[in-house]
Each structure stands twice: as C-alpha cells, then as structure tokens.
Amino acid sequence: MRLLNLLFPERRTSAVIARERLKIVLAHERASRQAPDFLPVLQKELLDVIGRYVEIRSDMIRVNLGRSGDTSLLEINVEIDGGGVKPTKNGAAGDSKETARIDQGVAAPWVRPS
Amino acid sequence: MAGKVIVLTSGKGGVGKTTSAASVAAGLALRGHRTVVIDFDVGLRNLDLIMGCERRVVFDFINVINGDAKLNQALIKDKRNDNLYIFPTSQTRDKDALKRDGVERVLDELKDTFDYIVCDSPAGIEHGALTAMYFADSAIIVTNPEVSSVRDSDRIIGLLASKSRRAEFNLEPVAVHLLLARYSPERVRKGEMLTVEDVKEILSIPLLGVIPESESVLRASNTGTPVVFDEESPAGRAYHDAVARFLGEQRELRFLQPERRSFFRALFGRA
C-alpha cells in the first residue's frame, strides 16, 4: 500500500483540501472547548500584575492548557515588545532586547488532544 | 413502558434534519414500533408539511406545555401507518415558550405510550436546539459532506457531551450516531466531495447510514410523504437501512458507488 501511495500520490483534489482544513480547525476548536472557564480570568489577572511592572498589551499574553500523555501543562507566554522592556513607574525590568518568555525556553511538549 | 428519546440535530440548517426525522420516525413505525415525531422548531413549523398533515393541525406542542390542550388533542395520527403520530409545533409563539420543565412533563407522558419519541431539532445552538437535545437518549447527527456542516456537527457533538441531561447528571452518555445525507457518489469519485470515510474519521462517531442525494427527496416533500415510504428510491431504501442499523441490525452500506444508468433509463427513466 505504501508503495502504491508513493507511485500514485493522492491528488490534491478539493475534497482532500477540505479534509485537511477541517482536521486543523477542529483540532483547535476541540482544544479550546475543553479549556476550563478560568483561563480568561487568569489571563486578565496576569495581565494586571505584569502590567504593574512592564508595559504590556492584552494581545501579548497567551494562556493555554495543553495535555501530553498523562500530564496537563499550563502554558503561559508573555511577549514583550521587540523594542525592549519599558518599565512602568514602579518597574524593575532589565533591558532585554529579546522577546521575554516565561516558559524558560522549554519547547512546549504538549500536543493538542485530537 | 419507557420510550426512548431520539433527537435529530445538526447545528447547520438545510442539511436534511426534518426530512430525516420524518423518515426515521416513519421507518421505526413501519417496523412496528409506536413512534411519535415532535417538531421543536417553534415559529418555523415545517414537519407537518413534510409529513403531509398540515391541514389537520389544531393544537400544538406549546398549547400542551401551557396546559391549553391535552396531549391526545394535539397528536395527529398518520394516515399511512397506525404506529405513527405527529406532534406539530407552534407557528406563532416565540421560541422561549419552550420551557424545559414543560417539555420534560410532555416527554414523560409520551414515554408511557410510545416506544420512540423522535425530536426534530431546529438549526443553530440556541434555546430551541438545546432544549431538543437536552432530554435525548440517542442523537442522530445529520451531516452533509461539506466543511461547514461537518464543523457544526462537531460542535453539536461537543454540546451533547456537556449540556445534555445525561451529561449533567453523570448518566450514561447520549448515544451519538452519524447520518450522512445528500451524499453524491459521482462527486466523491471526482474528488469534489468529502468521502464517507473522511467524515467518519473527522467526527469519529459510529455511522448510522449514508443517504444519497436523490431527486426523490424533493418529490417526497412536494407531496408530504416521508421519502422512506418510497420503496423505489435509493434515499428511501437508505433510510430503511439506517433505521434497521439503529435497531441493531447489521446492514452493508449501499449507494456509495455512482449509479450506472442503462442507455434506455438515461433516455426515458427517472432517477
């Protein structure tokens, strides 16, 4: 069967495109559907706290709950503007020019539940 | 006797919910089960037309919920099959008239006399659709092989798993089945339509049947006859198969290959 597939790859018909688009969009929607209700509130409160130290917009923080095997993983990504961290009044932030990430650079191992 | 509540739902409109509800109910009745089919689409009554009893409607679902009429005053007995009753909805009231406790009371009363209570859900995921699915024991998800229909079906399957009575009370989950309607084997062959395997794989629920796109469906609705009564039509026979599978029979899928039409049929025949 493999060999056959190699010899005759599946044509990119519109039905094949439809199937692939559906798989992608439904994977996303199912993941967000299972997200607990507190995520938006958590996101807002994190935004408030971080905003006390660093200038931040609401679209710069992302909170996701993922799953990898038996473990759940709460992933929080905070992006700081490329131009550098701008401390707010009480701010104590450094002058990092790079995007700061709270996840300590760990490659997120979680996969969306299919 | 405790009748089973079956909801036909889809999220998306125009996929064939009412057509399917009419034929599934009539199919169950043809197999000897006492069956009632209820229209939950308050304000947009159509089941009565599809069942061909629009001139016999006196009282409706909302009248019974409000206590203005007795159940047996509102139920319409089908003229083709003694086991089949139609319960029309209100054409005038607003959809919020469908109170959950009232619906529960009426369903409980119907369960005493009927084997199957087939609920024809409105489209969407608003109050009417949620009420129609809430009390379901089984759900038939009517889906077309088309991206928006498949996506909405997925959403509805999620709602059945979280918002139904069975989900809320931690009972055995609603038994969910896929009914793939308006399937065109010819277009699937050309790669223009999702295949039955595609839809099955994406939604990952058991397949109850595949109803081929058929001219006989429009002819049936024109005359107010559920298409399942049309023994000649592939769609009608596909509904028979789906009902048989629902009742636990094993049946091979049919009508998945493009129809070969003979030269004479192509010239003179009807589909």
- What ipTM score was computed for the predicted complex, to two decimals? 0.84
**Which pLDDT does position B207 carry in this prediction?**
97
* Three-class SS state of B144: coil
Tell whether A26 lies on the interface with B, counting CB pairs under 8 A: yes
Compute the average pLDDT of residues B12-24.
97
Q: B70 near B58, Cβ under 8 Å?
A: no
Q: Residue A40 pLDDT more than 90?
A: no
Compute the average pLDDT of residues B107-131.
96
Whole-number CA gyration radius for chain B: 18
Check A14 against B158: CB less than 8 A apart: no
Q: Residue B265 pLDDT more than 70?
A: no
Check B191 against A13: CB less than 8 A apart: yes
Tell whether A52 lies on the interface with B, counting CB pairs under 8 A: no
Matching residue, tokens 């019974």: B64
CA distance B125 to B12: 9
Check B191 against A16: CB less than 8 A apart: yes
Integer CA distances (angstroms), B29 to A5, B97, B228, B245, in order: 47, 29, 11, 15
Tell me, yes or no, if the pTM score tops 0.90. Answer: no
Name every chain A residue with its beta carbon within 8 A of the beta carbon of B158.
30, 33
Nearest CB among B151, B158, B188 relative to A22 is that of: B151
Q: Computed from CA positions of residues B254, B255, B258, B259, in that sequence, does the dihedral angle turn out positive or negative?
A: positive
User: Looking at the domain A34-103, which fold is it?
Assistant: Cell Cycle; Chain A (3.30.1070)
For residue B60, list its beta bridge partners.
none
CA distance B58 to B61: 11
* Three-class SS state of B257: coil
Check A15 against B188: CB less than 8 A apart: yes
Q: Residue B35 pLDDT more than 70?
A: yes
B264 or B190, which is more confident?
B190
Integer CA distances (angstroms), B72 to B59, B85, B89, B107, B159, in order: 10, 10, 14, 13, 32
**Which pLDDT does position B178 carry in this prediction?**
98
For residue A22, the chain B residue with the least C-alpha distance is B147
Distance from CA of B162 to the nearest CA of A (A): 10
3-state helix, strand, coil in chain B (%, to 5): 45, 15, 40
**Which pLDDT does position A102 carry in this prediction?**
43
Maximum CA pair distance of chain A? 66
For residue B187, the chain A residue with the least C-alpha distance is A15
Distance from CA of B84 to the nearest CA of A (A): 38
Q: How many CA atoms lie within 13 A of B207 on its CB side?
A: 21
Q: What are phi and psi of A26, to 5 degrees?
A: -70, -35
A80 or B57, which is more confident?
B57
Q: Judge residue B44's burial from the number of C-beta atoms within 10 Å of its C-beta, 0-12 exposed, 13-18 middle, 19 or more buried.
A: middle
Check B191 against A19: CB less than 8 A apart: no
pLDDT band at A4 (very low <50, low <70, confident <90, very high): low
Distance from CA of A60 to the nearest CA of B (A): 29
pLDDT band at B76 (very low <50, low <70, confident <90, very high): very high
Distance from CA of A41 to the nearest CA of B (A): 21
What percentage of chain B reaches a pLDDT higher than 70?
95
Distance from CA of B141 to the nearest CA of A (A): 17
Compute the average pLDDT of residues B231-258.
95
**Which pLDDT does position B79 carry in this prediction?**
96
Nearest CB among A14, A29, A33 relative to B192 is that of: A14
Assign residue B160 a region (left: φ > 0; alpha: ψ between -120 and 50; beta: otherwise).
Answer: alpha
Which region among A14-18, A95-99, B84-88, B219-223 has the lowest average model confidence (pLDDT)? A95-99
CA distance B239 to B40: 21
Tell whether A107 lies on the interface with B, counting CB pairs under 8 A: no
Buried b (16+ CB within 10 A) or exposed e, A19-57: beebeeebeeebbeeeeeeeeeeebeebbeebeeebebe
Q: Pairing state of beta strands B116-120 and B138-143?
A: unpaired
Whole-number CA gyration radius for chain A: 20
Distance from CA of A35 to the nearest CA of B (A): 13
* Residue B129 CB contacts under 8 Å (≥ 6 apart), including other chains: B9, B11, B40, B121, B122, B123, B156
* Three-class SS state of B44: coil
Q: A68 near A84, Cβ under 8 Å?
A: no
Q: Residue B33 pLDDT more than 50?
A: yes
- Mean pLDDT, all residues of chain A: 72
**Which pLDDT does position A106 carry in this prediction?**
41
Tell whether B167 lies on the interface with A, counting CB pairs under 8 A: no
Compute the average pLDDT of residues B100-104.
95
Assign residue B29 a region (left: φ > 0; alpha: ψ between -120 and 50; beta: otherwise).
Answer: alpha
pLDDT band at A100 (very low <50, low <70, confident <90, very high): very low
H or E segment and range at residue B250: none
Name every chain B residue with its beta carbon within 8 A of the beta carbon of A13.
190-192
Compute the average pLDDT of residues B176-190.
97
